[in-house]
Structure formats: C-alpha cells, structure tokens
Amino acid sequence: MTPRRYLAAPLVAALLALPSIASACAACGVGNGRNAMAYFVTTIFLSLFPLAILGAGIFWLARNARDFLASEFRESDEVEPATAPPPEGDPARG
C-alpha cells in the first residue's frame, strides 16, 4: 500500500465513527421523548408560519384590490338613463 492509503484509511474510519460521537443532539431521538416531540412540532410550526403569513397577505391584497378596482371603474361603467323625447303635442316643447 502507498503511504497515501495508510493515511486515508484512518481518516475514513474516523469520519464514519463521527456520528456515533455526536449523538448528544436532543432532536436525534436520544433522551426524553417529549423533547423530541417538541422539536418536531416547533419545526412544523416554523415551516408553515411563513407560508400562512404569505397566504394571508395575498388574501388581504386580493380582497382590498377587488374593492378598490370596483370603485375605480364605477364611473365609466354606469350609463346615464336615456330620456325619451317629449311627445309631439307636448306644450313644454315650445
């Protein structure tokens, strides 16, 4: 074996053993089950909360834009009622 392989083998073995050394993480399932559930629920909340805020903002914007645009074009949509010409024998016609 070459000297490079002599150095690579212990390095690979150390890297493979590293996760067993780092098992002190509270979310890895080691320790209290209530803590793991708390981390899980918090992760779900923190993932969905920004989406909920974004959805609420889009809903609010769409609702207010609909009301704003409805009043914005109301003048051009309204047609004045047509008045019929007075009859021929009408004294008001002059």
pLDDT tens track for 37-51: 888 899 999 999 999
Identify which of 80, 58, 61 has the alpha carbon closest to the alpha carbon of residue 69: 61
Q: State the Cα–Cα distance between residues 7 and 47, nearest whole angstrom.
A: 43
Q: Is the pLDDT of residue 78 over 60?
A: yes
Q: Is the pLDDT of residue 35 over 80?
A: no
Q: State the Cα–Cα distance between residues 13 and 79, nearest whole angstrom.
A: 84
Q: Is the pLDDT of residue 54 over 90?
A: yes
Q: Check residues 47 and 75 and name the one with the higher pLDDT.
A: 47
Q: Which of 18-22, 73-77, 84-88 has the highest mean pLDDT?
A: 84-88
Tell me, yes or no, if the pTM score tops 0.75. no
Q: State the Cα–Cα distance between residues 7 and 89, nearest whole angstrom.
A: 117
| Residue 1, SS3 per DSSP | coil
